[in-house]
Chain A
Amino acid sequence: MTKDTKNPPIDRVDGRMKVTGGANYFADFELPNMAYCVIVGSEIARGTITSLDTKKAQGAPGVLGVFTHQNRPPIPGWDATVGGPADGPPPKPKTEETYRILSSPKILFDGQPIAIVVADTYERATYAASLVKATYAKQAARTDLSKHVAEGIAPGGSGDYSRGKADAHQTAPVTLEAQYTIPIEVHNPMELHGILAHWTGPDTLMIYAKTQGVNATQNAMAQAFKLDPKNIHVHTEFMGGGFGMGLRTWPQETAVVAIARKIGRPLKLVMNRSQMFTLVGHRPYTVQTIRMGADQTGKLVSISHAATAETARYEDFTEATVNMTKFMYACPNVSTRYRIVRLDRSVPIWMRGPGEATGAFALESAMDEMAHKLNLDPIEFRLRNYTETDPEHNRPYSSKHLKEAYQKGAEAIGWSNRKPQPGSLREGNWLIGYGMSTGVFNAFRWEASARALLKADGSLTLQSAVTDIGPGTGTALTMIAHNVLGVPVERIKVEYGDTSLPKAPSQGGSAIVSAVGSAVFDACTAIKQALIELAVKDGGSLAGRQADELTLADGILSADKEPGKKVTVSELMQANNLTVIDRTKESKAGPDHQKYSVYSFSVHFVQVRVNPMTGVVRVAKAVSVADSGRIISPKTAASQMIGGVAGGIGMALTEEAVIDHRFGRFVNNNFADYHVAVHADVPAIETIMIDKPDPIINPMGAKGMGEIALIGFAGAVANAVFNATGQRVRHLPITPDKVMQKLV
């Protein structure tokens, strides 16, 4: 990187557009002759449709078609596939069921689409959808994981892990065994899911989607319709929140594309809120058991971590729930086990933090419980088991400044006010408690490409297919380009979220600044080299100078040791008859990456207030510290962390999608009854960035931070509630009934 100093805070480059309505989300697009469709969902969780009356709906005003398992247009790439997702490898072991939307009368989950009604307006489609009536042969549905934990199967591809002795905890001086449960959580971004499909020719397709990766959607549709990906154009510049639900193409999206082809009109689907609970994934209900042993000096002897999560009967969903336990602490004996149970439920998908957030709640709660048993401060206990090398892979961390993060966070929250004895701090009717937790997530660097175009007027355009789901990707890419080329921020334009642009991975896994940012860095570096070559070549304005004697800033290339000796970029390009310098670069991690464990770390601190009479818990103060390498854009980075805390408060205190297992159906599938944290739940949040570059991951030294903003937070709250009250809540969310104490 040309300058290795902390970056200045710049405003979100598309902020003004977003708040003034200038940013177009998929549902904002209107096309001539566009039709609308509405999904009719199953009202049972398991069984078979015995009759489906669509006559009334067909005859309703404006209706253009009603599509069911009897007449769904073909999806040629799906026809011969069995089990698992149609666009992925078949699961091992084989699934017992296959789900290819509207292909069978069999019902595999509550809310499964049984019809898609198309009309000339959304309202007419909605009304007609209400006229579709089904009868079913019901079967008893299994939807309650807590009743089926013992039936877990080992999913393909993720074996059990162990090092040291398997039964070491049995002989440890101090032992702990506890079960931790997280309920079903639903991503619930404000923006509803859907798609707008437009067949622009017999074999050419334009799609406006709600996807975290336009290239991924392009490939999924190419596979489904047996088309060359080049014939499919996908556009998703902005997304009103994704949190992981847009990391795959959902079957109903593909069905809409098939129906659009059949009716010969552009077709838009915008799902309703209750459909967001069943058709676009969720964080799976997960039951975890931790067994931990330690000695009297506060050294961990052993940890075993077992997790069992729900999945569908037609697809296996797995995530890295137990991984953190393998490498987080210095501990000689560690074993982990991960199982899934196939239920009559729709398939889960990664939700922010994903499995790591689920696992961190268990591990970091257990660490707090053990610290209490050992009479140790929770930070001190973690420091006594701190490791500078990754004990899972026996290799160094690329960078780790977690000790500094503990110290800075502790200072900011006022950790010295914490009393080790629970229930010691009181203000009137309220008990005060402090809690902390660590978070960690892989810092990925996936392959990505980007294009940079420097014009003779000194302006710069950056291009990449990557979608911005909200973290401020455009802003970060702008900063990276600015740092390389010295082009003023306001003269940089970023074009993204479109398959016509250079390929990029889906936005997820906290990987985009690292992946796409590196490609932007490389493309801009190539332009800089081109400029320098023009300047230093024979007859050039800085002929004979060495590249490292030149500085490029604010559109001027100058010689460091010769004041006044300079040339503007415009002059340089004009002198060489260039209107634009255009470079595209593909970028990926180098071989060094494999020699290190590359992780981002976080520490969360909270102060809670608990009313022991009513069980009300309030997060009064939150401090989150990120150790994620060089911070590229301080403002959007802080915003990422703040968003993670808001989500973490929801995970800790309020979020739970509830099923009535007698029916296998959700009973709180709306925004009034499914409680995401609201402003009143979220206090002022202090974010602290360690902001030290990682020497390995990429030329910017920047690691991802989307996941670590959430991972661990719920544990910090649970630990603080324990410190305030002495009540250990191991089953999220921490609602008043779990905390209140009996008085009369």
Chain B
Amino acid sequence: MNPFQFTRVTTPQAAISASTKESGTYFLAGGTNLIDLMKREVILPERLIDINKLPLTTIEKNVTGLRIGAMAKNSAVADHELVKTHFPLLSMALNAGASAQLRNMATVGGNLMQRTRCSYFYDHSMPCNKRGPVQAGPDKGKPNGPAGCGAIGGFNRMHAIFGASSKCIAVHPSDMCIALAALDATVNVSGPKGDRRIPFSEFHRLPGELPQKDNTLLPGELIMSVDLPTNRFADHSHYLKIRDRASYAFALVSVGVGLEMKRSDGSVHTIQDVRLAMGGVAHKPWRLFEAEQFLKGKEATEANFKQAATLAMKGAKSYGENDFKLTLAPNSIIDALKTATKTA
């Protein structure tokens, strides 16, 4: 860990202006990821802006649905009555992540900003393209370690099968974000040039040529809140997380599913509407748009689930140690759909 300046702010405006003044500045929220990265010398900040005193912890109904403050703790969101009742998928995904202690510290905004858990990213003696500074941003953090992608040809058990590039095959580690992607969330941000609303599918990005850049935030922008539109998925939601141990492990593959079901006659269940997203498979939460389109209006049968899973896997590519995900991912989609439609 390198010596750094530490500033505590109490208003979003102060946070934004402090962060744009100098390079190498990071917002510190729950600290459950940033502090690790500092200890491992992956990130060497010059300045931390502590935003824990910002009044952004409210969880409340608004005209379109639910608004969750960026500084709400993961555990507070997971346990909130409105979330549990109307957005159980989000509650399930949050509770599948990390440990109780971490969820008590981690915030919604911080969860969106999590960096990958790729081993090569964390070990600065190993090659990694993700550790480099983001050009044209305030983040001029020193690049630490050799360039290249260690995971390609290396230990890539945890890595992407969708949307990767020759520069990076890392995955986004969040569980919460899989639910937010499935639930069509919007991220509200505030920055030096004013406020913006970012659709969730546009918040995180694929690695392409610039894997060091995880998201589309502009310099100095601060996440203020996340909006969830009202839906009819509460009765048929499921978050399935497959991992190497029962708790406190990142997903090999996870599936977030929300369905609106219609009972057409005595026994057949028709899928009126559906949202599907996967974790552990891409550099960003991975929505399964084609599978969703296919399932709309279809009966909830294993045959249809299999076909949806096959569609979802189009374009998948594995890298050796993660070959099993080409089987595990579609199996998990089917398993999650069975559970959510209660046809298991």
Residues of A within 8 A of B (CB): 43, 123, 126-127, 130, 428-429, 611, 613-616, 618, 653-654, 658, 660, 662-663, 665, 667-668, 670, 672-673, 675, 677-681, 733, 735-737, 740-744
Contacts and interface: CB of A to CB of B under 8 A. Distances in A.
Contacts of A127: 1-3
Interface stretch (B54-62, B129-137, B256-264, B328-336): B328-336
B165 interface: no
Given A737-B324, A737-B328, A744 B334 contact: yes
Nearest to B307: A744
A681 B247 contact: yes
A663 B126 contact: yes
B245 A429 contact: no
Contacts of B154: 660, 662, 667
A616 B250 CA distance: 14
Contacts of A653: 245
B331 A613 contact: yes
A735 B244 contact: yes
A678 B153 contact: no
B1 A736 contact: no
A672 B150 CA distance: 19
A59 to B, nearest CB: 14
Nearest to B118: A667
B338 A429 contact: yes
A611 B335 CA distance: 10
A668 B123 CA distance: 10
6 contacts: A127-B1, A614-B242, A660-B126, A668-B119, A737-B324, A742-B327
A742 B250 CA distance: 23
B89 interface: no
Contacts of A665: 123, 125-126
A130 B244 contact: no
Contact of A429 (B123, B247, B335): B335
Given A681-B247, A736-B324, 8 more contacts: A127-B2, A429-B338, A660-B155, A665-B126, A667-B120, A678-B248, A680-B246, A736-B328
Nearest to B302: A743
A658 B155 contact: yes
A429 B340 CA distance: 13
B306 A743 contact: yes
Contacts of A668: 119, 155
A614 B245 contact: no
Contacts of A616: 242
Nearest to A430: B344
Contacts of B46: none
Contacts of B184: none
Nearest to B305: A744
A663 B1 CA distance: 24
A128 to B, nearest CB: 11
Contacts of A43: 125
Contact of A618 (B119, B150, B153, B246): B246
A740 B331 contact: yes
Given A654-B244, A662-B154, A663-B126, A614 B331 contact: yes
Contacts of A660: 119, 126, 150, 154-155
The 5 A-B residue pairs with the shortest CB-CB distance, nearest first, are A680-B246, A737-B324, A43-B125, A680-B247, A667-B119
A429 B331 CA distance: 12
A675 B249 contact: yes
Nearest to B3: A127
B236 interface: no
Nearest to B322: A737
B119 A130 contact: no
B235 to A, nearest CB: 19
A634 B338 CA distance: 46
A662 B328 contact: no
Interface in B306-335: 306, 309-310, 324, 327-328, 330-332, 334-335
B232 interface: no
Contacts of B3: 127
Q: Which of B120, B248, B331 has the most CB of A within 10 A?
A: B331
A102 B334 CA distance: 56
B2 A667 contact: no
B181 interface: no
B203 to A, nearest CB: 24
B327 A673 contact: no
Contacts of A672: 117, 248-250
B252 interface: yes
Contact of A614 (B122, B246, B249, B328): B328
A736 B306 contact: no
A680 B241 CA distance: 14
Contacts of A740: 324, 327-328, 331
B249 A613 contact: no
Contact of A667 (B155, B242, B331): B155
B41 interface: yes
A531 B206 CA distance: 82
Contacts of B328: 614-615, 736-737, 740
A614 B332 contact: yes
Contact of A130 (B2, B306, B309): B2
A450 B82 CA distance: 64
Contacts of B332: 613-614
Contacts of B157: 658
Interface string B260-302: 0000000000000000000000000000000000000000000
Nearest to A612: B331
Contact of B344 (A126, A130, A428): A428
Given A43-B125, A667-B120, A668-B119, A677 B155 contact: no
A736 B344 contact: no
Interface in B39-77: 41
A737 B331 CA distance: 11
Contacts of B122: 670
Nearest to B332: A614
Contacts of B117: 672-673
Q: Which of A123, A679, A736, A741 has the most CB of B within 10 A?
A: A736
Contacts of B248: 672, 678, 680
Nearest to B173: A672
Contacts of B41: 130
Contact of B309 (A429, A615, A744): A744
A159 B49 CA distance: 65
B175 to A, nearest CB: 14
A115 to B, nearest CB: 15
Given A130-B41, A675-B244, A744 B310 contact: yes
Contacts of B330: 743-744
